[in-house]
Structure 1
Amino acid sequence: MLNVNEQVQQSFINPIIPQRADPWVYLHTDGFYYFTGSVPEYDRIELRRARTIQELGAAEPVVAWTKYAEGPMSANIWAPEIHFVQGKWYIYFAAARTTETVEGLFDHRMFVLENESANPLEGKWSEKGQIIANWESFALDATSFEHNGTHYLVWAQKDLSIEGNSNLYIAAMVNPWTISGQQVMIAQPEYDWEKIGFYVNEGAAVLKRNGKIFIAYSASATNHHYCMGLLTASADSDLLDPVSWSKAPEPVFTTNEENGQYGPGHNSFTVSPDGKHDILIYHARNYKEITGDPLYDPNRHTRAQVFGWTADGMPSFGVPVRDGKE
């Protein structure tokens, strides 16, 4: 793992993929990087793969799933993630329903697809249905990870008794589409930088390093105020106990006007092919002023950059790099 003072040799030409928000990149044991993310039309889930992160931009996308004309999976298909669990591929995603009201269009729930093929760009994706939380409300951005033999789900959801739009929750899983027991809130918007435009904690991504479990997440509205925060727990702690998690009081990755990068967030983590470099995958725009609703501005581009670590074992993401070579 890199110390923040080491010179980084791996570099990228950003953006990696234009007009792909909420990017998820996963390096599989077959040596391929797999990518998915929100498409500007919010109407389908695409997958692509390549031998390097840079080559993902030129890789041919394959449509894994397309929204329905009506019903609970018929609008605003957001933030898909691809995971490999116990020999099968799974895609987590959020979907809303076609409706005449704005509220319905943004009343998301979480869903799961499964594929048994060795290559997830082939074979059939079957629907495993909705992930049922402990209560019904706006829910999205599901991600999963394994620790000490237990699989966990982390996601964003609205609690109708708490002011704001979404908090972060964790629960154990009995299988890749079913949570077990009670969900536990581990973060809610509390700092000013998490409550600009909307009160939001969302887009969780998990990183296990240095005897710790880190959850990066995104906060505030999806314009230039969008930024990343960080939760930390000891790897030896009870991850279902809210007390185990501490939140950094300041954002860890933010807009950098000097480099022309605005609203970085909704990240994922991966590594270089040799496993020596940790890599942050995220989206950002290269301009500040947006006409209309930021959610319908298509120019949140997928970007990548290597990050390092501090002497006390914390990730140091630096600032979003300029477009072009890192």
Structure 2
Amino acid sequence: MRPLARRAAVPLAITALALVACGSTDGVSAPAAETSAATFANPVADVGNDPYVIEHDGAYYLVESRSGGSLWVTRSSPANLTDVYWSGTSVKIWEPPLDGPACRDVWAPELHPVDDRWFVYFAATTCDGDNANHRMFALESEGTDPQGTYVDRGQVTDDTDRWAIDGTTFVDDGQRYFVWSGWEGDTDGQQNLYVAPMSDPVTISGPRVLLSEPTLPWETRAMPIQEGPQVLLNEGRTFIVYSASGSWTDDYAYGLLSLGDGPVLDPSSWTRSPDPVFAKTDDVFGPGHGSFVRSPDGTESWMVYHAARSSGSGWDRVVHAQPFTWRADGTPDLGTPVAAGIEIPVPSGQLPADA
């Protein structure tokens, strides 16, 4: 069994909406000037887990769980992705209660726009820190500001009410779905990906469906795990990038599920890539559980992910960012992790951070 502190609260956890990331460029403001000669080097944050970033109204927003489990939303300088942590303005949007089911070990928050509101999904457990009690929860904004006031909407669950983390949401053909990592039963040992329909952003309206389970050798290092699902849309196609194997190992890596012509809730509609689509190198270890956004001018696709600080460092992780491309058949080509210290051109259209 894994240690219970699998994702201890840290100063940074960037997090993102993959639906916006690589599907539409709506809402991406064109910058006033180009900075094509500018470069940056990873890491973009010295400490970070499960990074999630989303672009909105010309800026990038990250949501993070800080010490004690409080949730914070940070707004970057205009049109600046890689300096969001260093130059952003942070607002605390939620403090965990002193009792109840969402009291401790707040993991992997995500920030999603739905109509004119914002929803934050996160995993948390009871005040005794029992990992077996981890479930998914949601906050809803009272207004249109991602850094505004939020209302606690409680647990997001299907009828089984079993262990659940890393929930995300997406819409396909007008129907909203929730995808998460969970246990088949009530004991640890394997994490699968589940999907279920939603009647609204906080209500699962049908039985969960086993979407995928870790059976490939590269998905079972230290423990059979599929987690951290992120949805990518491109040219009418739907993909789920997920993380596999023990997150505390150097072998943590990305896998890919591709939706065919069948319904979302039919597992046979999805094709799993037989090999990891993004994995460790001689210089970068344990890359995974990140998010996907567009460059400020909307012309490039970017990924933000965490990696181990060094080989064997486990959950001592940093945050990296780098661009990725799309193949002729519409599938994502995530490439190879870029080592720390290597200069990379900044995202297209990025402006310098505010002084």
Shorter-chain TM-score bucket reads 0.7 to 0.9
1:13-62 per-residue CA deviation (whole Å, 9 max, x = no partner) reads: 3222221211111112x1121112344x4622121111211220221322
Q: How does 1:57-72 map to 2 (within 5 A)?
A: 57-58=85-86, 59-72=88-101
Q: How does 1:159-238 map to 2 (within 5 A)?
A: 159-160=184-185, 164-222=189-247, 223-234=249-260, 236-238=261-263
* Residue 256 to residue 38, structure 1, CA distance change in 2 (3 Å): farther
CA contact (8 A) 1:22 1:38 kept: no
The residue number in structure 1 matching 2:10 is none
TM-score (norm 1): 0.88
1:250-305 per-residue CA deviation (whole Å, 9 max, x = no partner) reads: 11111112xx2111100211111221111111111230123xxx4xx4x3222211
The residue number in structure 1 matching 2:43 is 15
The residue number in structure 2 matching 1:309 is 326
Paired positions, count: 305
CA contact (8 A) 2:158 2:205 kept: no
- Partner residue of 1:288 out of 304, 308, 311: 311
The separation in 2 between residues aligned to 1:305 and 1:273, in whole angstroms, is 14
The alpha carbon displacement at 1:10 in A equals: 8.6
Q: How does 1:98-137 map to 2 (within 5 A)?
A: 98-99=127-128, 104-122=130-148, 124-137=149-162
TM-score (norm 2): 0.81
The separation in 1 between residues aligned to 2:312 and 2:270, in whole angstroms, is 35
- Structure with the larger strand share: 1
The residue number in structure 2 matching 1:320 is 337
- Partner residue of 1:85 out of 110, 114, 124: 114
In the alignment, structure 2 segments of 5+ residues that lack a partner are 1-21, 23-35, 345-355
1:124-159 per-residue CA deviation (whole Å, 9 max, x = no partner) reads: 211001012231221010101122211111111101
1:272 and 2:287 correspond: no
The residue number in structure 2 matching 1:54 is 82
CA RMSD after TM alignment: 2.1
Partner secondary structure for residue 172 of structure 1? strand
CA contact (8 A) 1:20 1:38 kept: no
1:61-84 per-residue CA deviation (whole Å, 9 max, x = no partner) reads: 222112223321111100000000
Partner secondary structure for residue 111 of structure 1? strand
Residue identity matched to 1:35? L
Q: Report sequence identity in percent.
A: 37
1:192-246 per-residue CA deviation (whole Å, 9 max, x = no partner) reads: 1111112111100000113321100001111212111000013x43111111011
The separation in 2 between residues aligned to 1:190 and 1:231, in whole angstroms, is 14
Partner secondary structure for residue 140 of structure 2? strand
The alpha carbon displacement at 1:307 in A equals: 0.3
1:66-113 per-residue CA deviation (whole Å, 9 max, x = no partner) reads: 2223321111100000000011000000001122xx7x2353100000
The residue number in structure 1 matching 2:59 is 32
In the alignment, structure 1 segments of 5+ residues that lack a partner are 2-7
CA contact (8 A) 1:218 1:266 kept: yes
The separation in 2 between residues aligned to 1:237 and 1:151, in whole angstroms, is 16
1:76 and 2:142 correspond: no
Give runs of ≥4 in structure 1 deviating > 3 Å: 8-12, 161-164
